[in-house]
Structure 1
Amino acid sequence: MAVTSYRRRWTLDDRAESVWHSLPVDIPADCPGLLVTLTVPPVEGAVIDIGCEGASGWRGWSGGARRTFAITPDAATPGYLPGELEAGTWWIVLGLHRLPVEGVELLVEAVTGPVTTIPGLTEYADATAAIAVPPRPPRRTLPASSGLKWIAGDFHAHSLHSDGSTPVANLAALGVSAGLDVLAVTDHNTVAHHAELPTLGKRFGIGLIPGQEVTTDTGHANAFGEIGAIDFRRPAATWVSEVASRGGLLSINHPLGGDCSWRHPLPEHPPLAEIWHSSWLDHTWGGPIAWWQAWGLENTTPIGGSDWHNPTSFMPPGSPTTWIAVDATAEGPDELPTATLEALTAGRTALSWSYTAPVLIRADDELIALDAPNTLVITPDGTRHPIRTPKTHLPATPGPHLLITHTGKLLSTCT
């Protein structure tokens, strides 16, 4: 057993140099495990993240959610990838997310050798086993274009693999209870949760889409697809091409989301944007739609995300609901995630408050407003059409359309 320790005071000068700082740890051949502990004193204003990069690539990220983690060939703390500890230099990555003016003294201890107890693993397994498959609400069938069908999804949710409060199994259960067909699990700066998704999708009867929230203090983006970890430390301008080259899709997250608003310069826009986020509580406020218009309506497919972390989150999974027009032959948790990403690439989405809320959809050459009497549809050229009945058909024109109440509250949008 060998112990590598780092004790030092980190200051605003360090934060100005870089948000992220890497501390080397030597991993010997045939190492049976790595146990890392971060000690942060109870100093107001100190928010410190931690993660790990192996000699052959990224192994995981705790952010500020936990202060200790372990990695062994067979198992790891949630948020980290188990597997061979390749010999060479590994790096404990610190994120100086927030520092007080006077700085803060941190202690990092890395122990190589046998790990008797993997932090968080037993609790995670027990919680997963205890979650039952809930009943699904009555299925809502929406009219669709020939060869397609509308399914319900949520593209933003977190588990104990990052800063969520429950295992992935609970996300699946909540998604089923909300009527969802697909749910993207998007833990921060890790892909450790991806290995669970196929099995849990089959168990709960929901398509679980592999995702990761590429997270920095100047903006977050979701990368969808089984594409490996995207390095959040690299300039955001590289994320779009990197995700695309690996066959994934990138989305700007909550672009007007308080201190998580998007502030990275991007010479190339990603194909998706989380226009509708659960923090958008006042839907008479036009900020998100104005941002979408300024960003580029024609080249950006809108999606929505609950960003669920725990029972105190703004909204449960499925609020908002993103409707996706997928290939009508796609069925079940094995096929729907791939069909969903294909539909997103084609730009076939509609957004609503929830699974049962009023919705505006496109079907062939028509727009159809459902369960939305006494509302208005606004076309891309600004024309307003009154909606009087629970099911109203309108001629479809190219571009995004909005469904609003007579008071200007947004109910739904479709592309």
Structure 2
Amino acid sequence: MKVLVIGKGGREHAIAHAAYRSPQVDQVYAAPGNVGMENIARCVAISDSDIAGLVAFAKKEAIDLTIVGPESSLSLGVVDAFTEAGLLAFGPTKDAAQVESSKDFAKKIMMKYQIPTAAYQTFRDYDCAYAYVMAQGAPIVIKEDGLKAGKGVTVAKTIEEAEEALKIAFEIPNNQVVIEECLVGFEFSLICFVNGTTVIPMEIAQDHKCAYDGDTGPNTGGMGVYSPVKRITPAIIEDTMNQVMRPMAEAMVEEGHSFTGFLYGGLMLTDDGVKTIEFNARFGDPEAEVILPRLKTDFISIIQAVMNHQEITLEWDDQVTLGVVMASTNYPASSTKGALIEGVENVDSMVYYMGAKRHNAQLVTDGGRVLIVVAKADTLAAAYEKAYEDVHKIHCKHLFYRNDIGKKDME
């Protein structure tokens, strides 16, 4: 088989690596890919937003299966275009991708089908939104409605923080803002292979959204992650599948938005049970980088089975994977380009490239999140030690990282 992976980040690096390991696959292509993928895939200089270029390439190379990484490509309708061209692509249509591209869309479906989630209201007007915040009090969550690359969400601990978030949000013309109650508990991610009402769960991961140690600082796309998560028991997972993941997939079919691809559930284990923080229309990033290395079942065979509505049992490595993201100094407010990175060749763990490139034969920064170092070991504590030992081998004056990835689950 020939497989094309659309995207250029750490998630796509992990997906390309999983496809490369498949005995069915002769050649992996990545568009545009990144320098970390070059030993497992042929990178082609086509932007992940160049839908016509991607379709033309897939036709020319007779690609058997395309796997879409970024939410931005999905929301542009890349799967629709591939389907119209008679090409097989794993991912949701532009219509179904609204589950991520519009938080209001997702919340309306959750409320209609009684999928447990935070109470909320949606606003287009600053004054009405501010009045609602004043009536509800803090802490409270302010979410801008569209695609925000893991940002655009403020967990406001005070009314003043909420007011500032609303001011920023409503500076954007015609912006829509979802305001939610602040859920308290233990956050985790459950991602499923989905095709209509066929829903196959993966292993649990726990992402660390806040920029700094102790879950402080602004919300990010994720600063570190580990899998599995011992606090989330098999009983909790089954409960989540029955109350959240399967009902959402079925609701999407019922509402005429049938979903195919990776359905991501961002979840909170609260004192009142599991509640849904958000749905995403693609594999989580950085979750992909710790979940896929633990997958023993052939990745491509799973996608084929799901596309054909066949049940398949997934086998997993019992070892723990833990990933530490190395990000640009001012991330998420800004990113760094061109800062020299040294020492990656000395790392024993897996390194997935998120926002790095080669310039004059040297590795340099090229984005907000730059690298993720993923260690595998028999225990969470051992994976933690191994990951940070390798992080310390990488040197760049313009990178930072959290020091407490996985610590909460070691208590």
Q: TM-score, normalised by structure 1?
A: 0.26
**Which structure has more strand as a fraction of its residues?**
1
Higher relative contact order (CA 8 A, sep 6+): 2
Q: TM-score, normalised by structure 2?
A: 0.26
